[in-house]
């Protein structure tokens, strides 16, 4: 099985100090970087998804949405975390780029599936933020698209609007067919 790593939305606004921060979201950087290096060494593709919203995005409170403004295209908050390794040969997938497109999933409104299939990928390893929103949506869409998926439990972090949302999301992904692993146990 040919694998790819999908790093979901490891952006400044989702890390401590950001406008929609995941508590301890930056703690996933070290295990994420370990996996990014591992995939790079093996010559396996690494994809980074990112929210890349227009300033008037429909998900923002001021426009009737559920969230504070975040990840506005071209702003500091939309950039990948400064400590995250983003290799030159990696792929960046921008999502939710249209005003009225929510797009929690890296597959929604993007060419991610086409790119993966063109590379012969059938097995995905998923890391990122936030477990209970964009990670879960990306994993569920990947499974629906027919990809095998492994979620790295110590390289994801949840918003936890409700205290157990991240835990529930992990269970939902497993029930749908995703496997889980720890970054320290992961080898290609």
- Domain residue extents for the chain: 3-185
Q: Is 168 a catalytic residue?
A: no
Per-residue pLDDT tens digits of the chain, which is 188 residues long: 699 999 999 999 999 999 999 999 999 999 999 999 999 999 999 999 999 999 999 999 999 999 999 999 999 999 999 999 999 999 999 999 999 988 999 999 999 999 999 999 999 999 999 999 999 999 999 999 999 999 999 999 999 999 999 999 999 999 999 999 999 987 76
Q: Is 2 a catalytic residue?
A: no
Q: Is 56 a catalytic residue?
A: no
User: What confidence score (pLDDT) does residue 1 get?
Assistant: 61
The residue annotated as part of the active site, out of 9, 26, 132, 141, is 9
pTM above 0.85?
Answer: yes
User: What confidence score (pLDDT) does residue 186 get?
Assistant: 78
CATH placement of domain 3-185: 3.40.50.850
The residue annotated as part of the active site, out of 15, 134, 141, 154, is 134
Give every CB contact of residue 17 below 8 A, 6+ residues apart in sequence.
Answer: none
- Cis peptide leading into residue 130 (ω within 30°): yes
The residue annotated as part of the active site, out of 51, 95, 141, 154, is 95
With b meaning 16 or more CB within 10 Å and e meaning fewer, what string describes 46-67? bbbbbbbbeeebbbbeeeeeeb
Using alpha carbons, list the distances in angstroms from residue 148 to 5, 7, 84. 12, 16, 25
User: What confidence score (pLDDT) does residue 170 get?
Assistant: 98
């Amino acid at each position: 099985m040919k694998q790819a790593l999908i790093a979901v939305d490891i952006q400044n606004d989702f890390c401590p100090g950001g406008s929609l921060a995941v508590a301890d979201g930056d703690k996933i950087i070290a295990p994420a970087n370990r996996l990014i290096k591992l995939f790079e060494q093996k010559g396996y593709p690494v994809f980074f998804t990112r929210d890349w919203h227009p300033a008037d995005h429909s998900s923002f409170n001021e426009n009737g949405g559920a969230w504070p403004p975040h990840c506005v295209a071209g702003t500091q908050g939309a950039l990948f975390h400064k400590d995250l390794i983003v290799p030159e040969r990696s792929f960046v997938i921008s999502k939710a780029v249209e005003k009225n497109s929510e797009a929690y999933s890296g597959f929604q409104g993007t060419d991610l599936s086409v790119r993966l299939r063109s590379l012969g990928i059938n097995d995905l390893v998923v890391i990122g933020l936030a477990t209970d929103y964009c990670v879960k949506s990306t994993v569920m869409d990947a499974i629906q698209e027919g990809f095998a998926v492994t979620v790295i439990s110590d390289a994801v972090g949840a918003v936890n609007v409700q205290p157990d949302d991240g835990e529930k999301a992990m269970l939902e992904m497993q029930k749908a067919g995703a496997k889980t692993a720890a970054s320290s146990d992961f080898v290609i």
